[in-house]
Amino acid sequence: MSEAAAPALRIRDLHKSFGRLEVLRGIDLDVAEHEVICLIGASGSGKSTLLRCIDLLEPVNGGSIVVHGTEVTAPGVDANRVRRGIGIVFQAFNLFPHMSVIDNVTLAPRKVLGTPRRQALGEALELLERFGLADKRDEFPDRLSGGQQQRVAIVRALATRPRLMLLDEVTSALDPELVAEVLGVIRELAAGGMTMLIATHEMGFARDIADRVCFLDAGVLLEQGPPEQIFSAPRERRTQQFLQRIIDAGRL
Amino acid sequence: MTDAPSSAGDRRSRILGGGGGAGRNVAVALVSTAVVFTALGLLVVNSSGWEEVRQKFLNGEEFRTWFPDVLSAFWLDVKIFCVAEVVILAFALGIAVLRSLPGPVFFPIRALAIVYTDIFRGVPTILVVYILGFGVPGLQLSGVSTDPVIWGTVALVLVYSAYVAEVYRAGIESVHPSQEAAARSLGLSRWQALRFVILPQAVRRVVPPLLNDFIGLQKDTALVALIGPVEAFRQADIGANADFNYTPYFCAAVLFVAVTVPLARFTDWLIARDRRRQQGGRAA
């Protein structure tokens, strides 16, 4: 594990339970600036919960999360301020259905950052342009394809200029032919140096894009390493089993 | 964009069993309506007591005599429900928001909101009108109005806000939690998420039941008559007693229907427009 001077993210002994169910059982993870990490693991292994905890969408039960040098799990931290610096994209897009694309994207810059309307509009258009969505600016989410909706959701998350992006199985709700356009966007973000934590079931994509792959199993970060090692020579028996199931399902 | 070739309207009519095209459906609807209503009309008109009932309830001369009076009295109803509706929209929203506050700290506020809605939905409207209309002026507090119109309106506001608050709350709870998560993840505060993301969706969804309550309110303005003011129902009452004829009530009924029906159609139009905007051609 690379121990950079000021990691983008540092997680220590993170615990999270829902009632009596312990979903995260002591996670330690460091993410360096500009690093792309893929989280893999079976459904229910804690990938989504981990991402939601980092964005403070779930209260944690123990341990600490430090984002860009600030301990966000400390008491009295302004959660709204923390979330501004982190972008999260959800499996189900979660666009605001009563707002046009451009309003979805400019809401946070205008209301949270206080960016003047005209400037927010300009910046949003620039982002939409960059991801091939400029002609959709006045459409409502329900009129877009799943792939377009997810790209808008990514643009919306980028609009507050986060330094860390969390992607929670962003292609799982998409028809297969729409997956590529969303993965393309993520690749572009990676190429631009965005620090990202990506929970995914797309193993081929993970192998391509990740600097490091982390395997979560029952709330424990069981194994991590460069994609070549994890995918071709996993050390842990659970990792081997998981990957074997993926191969059997024809998904690697 | 891949638009389905058929509109939702077509699909719905097919599901409901209408064969053929839209034109034929309209024709069938017209004919069946005409048949049903002609039959009902003939039944009533040919009944043995019809002539007497017509004289007592639908007397043309009585109608012409009393309609202007009832109409001018009806303005009071219009004023009462217009003011009440505006106040209710804001007040009930406040109650609903208070009741949706999460966390143990806000328990007393939630409890107050619950007690309020329980009481004012539970007590018959007429009692609230009596209590406020006779009780508050009876206290003889200086500086407090004794106008029964005002206290009658306050009573209606209190009762209907309890209903409307519940309607709002249902709307708020119908918005999926993932919408709030998305809003909060962008850095919006709880209040901003409510204001910009949750309430706009909630209110759109509850417009039809909200209108339903407002129609009820418009009719219940007649209850204010019971503490004194001469509004449409009271004026009709006066007319009916003067001439021993019920036609003035019919005047009042016509007026109440004349305001509720356009309001209902306007709401339908509003909902349809909203749906068109959000979903494009698909559900037009």
Instruction: Provide the CATH number for the domain around residue B111.
Output: 1.10.3720.10
Q: Based on the domain organization, do B112 and B211 belong to the same domain?
A: yes
- Domain membership of residue B1 (yes or no) is no
Q: Based on the domain organization, do B89 and B185 belong to the same domain?
A: yes
Q: Using an 8 Å Cβ cutoff, are B181 and B207 in contact?
A: no
Q: What is the pLDDT of residues A128-151, one digit of tens each?
A: 999 999 999 999 999 999 999 999
Tell me which chain A residue has its CA closest to the CA of residue B205. Answer: A98
B186, B201, B204: residue with CB nearest A108: B186
- List domains and CATH numbers for chain A: 9-248 (3.40.50.300)
Residues 6+ apart with CB under 8 A from B164: B88, B89, B92, B210, B213
pTM of the full predicted structure?
0.83
pLDDT at B278 over 80: no
pLDDT value for B16: 57
pLDDT at B67 over 80: yes
CA distance A101 to chain B (A): 11
Tell me which chain A residue has its CA closest to the CA of residue B199. Answer: A98
Q: Using an 8 Å Cβ cutoff, are B106 and B263 in contact?
A: no
Q: Using an 8 Å Cβ cutoff, are A182 and A174 in contact?
A: yes
In 3D space, the residue among B165, B164, B173 whose CA is nearest the CA of residue B201 turns out to be: B173
pLDDT value for A1: 44
Collapsing DSSP to helix, strand or coil, B104 comes out as helix
pLDDT at B157 over 60: yes
- Beta carbons of B178 and A90 less than 8 Å apart: yes
Residues 6+ apart with CB under 8 A from B230: B73, B76, B238
Alpha-carbon gap, residue A96 to A104, rounded angstroms: 6
Ranges of H-type helices in chain A: 47-54, 79-84, 101-111, 117-130, 146-158, 176-191, 203-209, 227-232, 237-248
Within 8 A of B178 by CB-CB distance, chain A residues are 90, 92, 94
- Beta carbons of B186 and A83 less than 8 Å apart: yes
- Domain membership of residue B2 (yes or no) is no
Q: What is the pLDDT of residues B186-207, one digit of tens each?
A: 999 999 999 999 999 999 889 8
Alpha-carbon gap, residue B142 to A91, rounded angstroms: 62
Q: Based on the domain organization, do B69 and B34 belong to the same domain?
A: no
Q: Which residue has the tokens 């990506």?
A: A198
Neighbour count for residue B142 (Cβ, 10 Å): 4
A98, A149, A168: best to mutate for the B interface, most B CBs within 10 A: A98
- Beta carbons of B278 and A142 less than 8 Å apart: yes
- Domain membership of residue B3 (yes or no) is no
Q: Based on the domain organization, do B84 and B15 belong to the same domain?
A: no
CA distance A204 to chain B (A): 28
- Domain membership of residue B4 (yes or no) is no
Task: Tell whether B189 is within 8 A of chain A (Cβ).
Answer: yes
* Residue A131 phi, psi (nearest 5): -105, 20
Q: Using an 8 Å Cβ cutoff, are A27 and A13 in contact?
A: yes
- Adjacency order of strands within the sheet including A21-31: A21-31, A9-18, A62-67, A70-71
Q: What is the pLDDT of residues A162-181, one digit of tens each?
A: 999 999 999 988 888 889 89
Q: Based on the domain organization, do B199 and B155 belong to the same domain?
A: yes
In angstroms, the Cα distances linking B223 to A121, B128, B191, B247 are 52, 10, 38, 20
Segment 151-180 of chain B within 8 Å of chain A by CB:
178-179
- Beta carbons of B186 and A112 less than 8 Å apart: yes
Four-residue CA torsion sign, B60, B64, B68, B70 = negative
pLDDT more than 70, % of chain A = 97
Q: ipTM score here?
A: 0.90
A52, A56, A80: best to mutate for the B interface, most B CBs within 10 A: A80
pLDDT value for A4: 47
**Which residues on chain A place their C-beta less than 8 Å from a C-beta of chain B?**
52, 55, 57, 79-81, 83-84, 86-88, 90, 92, 94-98, 107-108, 111-113, 139-140, 142-145, 156-157, 159-160
CA distance A115 to chain B (A): 14
A111, A140, A145: residue with CB nearest B196: A111
- Beta carbons of A143 and B183 less than 8 Å apart: no
Q: Based on the domain organization, do B103 and B28 belong to the same domain?
A: no
The DSSP code for A250 is T
pLDDT value for B19: 55
- Domain membership of residue B49 (yes or no) is no
Q: How many domains does chain B have?
A: 2
pLDDT value for B11: 52
CA distance A110 to chain B (A): 10
Within 8 A of A104 by CB-CB distance, chain B residues are none
Q: What is the pLDDT of residues B246-275, one digit of tens each?
A: 999 999 999 999 998 888 888 888 888 888
Domain housing B265? 60-283
- Domain membership of residue B259 (yes or no) is yes
CA distance B175 to chain A (A): 11
Q: Based on the domain organization, do B137 and B32 belong to the same domain?
A: no
- Domain membership of residue B66 (yes or no) is yes
* Residue A211 phi, psi (nearest 5): -80, -30
Q: Based on the domain organization, do B153 and B27 belong to the same domain?
A: no
For B47-81, the three-class secondary structure string (H helix, E strand, C coil) is CCCHHHHHHHHCCHHHHHHHHHHHHHHHHHHHHHH
Within 8 A of B200 by CB-CB distance, chain A residues are 98
CA triple A87-A88-A89, angle to 5 deg: 130
Within 8 A of A160 by CB-CB distance, chain B residues are 186-187
B178, B197, B278: residue with CB nearest A140: B278
Q: Based on the domain organization, do B88 and B126 belong to the same domain?
A: yes
Alpha-carbon gap, residue A57 to A94, rounded angstroms: 14
Q: Based on the domain organization, do B275 and B162 belong to the same domain?
A: yes
pLDDT value for B14: 54
CB neighbour class for B242 (10 Å; exposed up to 12, middle 13-18, buried from 19): exposed
- Domain membership of residue B48 (yes or no) is no
Q: Based on the domain organization, do B103 and B201 belong to the same domain?
A: yes
- Beta carbons of B181 and A57 less than 8 Å apart: yes
> What are A12's two structure tokens?
């220590």
pLDDT band per the 50, 70, 90 thresholds, residue B92: very high
Alpha-carbon gap, residue B239 to B244, rounded angstroms: 8
Alpha-carbon gap, residue B123 to B163, rounded angstroms: 12
Task: Tell whether B50 is within 8 A of chain A (Cβ).
Answer: no
Q: Based on the domain organization, do B32 and B101 belong to the same domain?
A: no
CB neighbour class for A79 (10 Å; exposed up to 12, middle 13-18, buried from 19): middle
